[in-house]
């Protein structure tokens, strides 16, 4: 048996609030919309990963999601344009990533990062 996909599920009564953040800021495509469920994604091939952590690194809280992007400065500009202020960073970490934390519309802590 092989794991084919891991899907992160975020509970919210306001499904539409995801569009501005996950599609508008991060550029994900709306793949499926059933009204009670909206799925955002990308046609990019991605690795399947699941992290278990006691902290988020550098003494930070464990983020709910980590999203790797190809241009961290652009992601930060999109957040700033939407009046979303990072709670941490941007910072270059000793393990070879540059990242910042923000809250999505559902108050989930999102780690946006780029590998150096």
Q: What is the per-residue pLDDT across 79-97, written as a single tens digit (0 to 9) for each?
A: 999 999 999 999 999 999 9
Percent of the chain at pLDDT above 70?
Answer: 100
Global confidence as pTM:
0.93
Place of tokens 């910042």: 100
Mean pLDDT value of segment 36-65: 95
pLDDT value at residue 41: 96
DSSP string, 8-37: -----S-TTHHIIIIIIIT--EEEEE-SS-
pLDDT of 4 strictly over 90: no
Q: How far is CA 43 from the centre of its chain?
A: 16
pLDDT value at residue 86: 98
């Amino acid at each position: 048996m092989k794991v084919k996909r891991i899907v992160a599920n975020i509970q919210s009564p306001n499904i539409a609030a995801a569009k501005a953040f996950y599609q508008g800021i991060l550029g994900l495509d709306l793949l499926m919309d059933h009204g009670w469920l909206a799925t955002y994604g990308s046609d990019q091939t991605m690795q399947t990963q699941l992290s278990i952590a006691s902290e988020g690194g550098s003494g930070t809280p464990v983020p709910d999601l980590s999203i790797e992007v190809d241009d961290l400065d652009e992601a930060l500009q999109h957040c700033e344009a939407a009046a979303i202020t990072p709670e941490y960073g941007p910072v270059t970490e000793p393990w070879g990533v540059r990242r910042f934390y923000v809250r999505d519309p559902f108050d989930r802590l999102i780690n946006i990062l780029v590998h150096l």
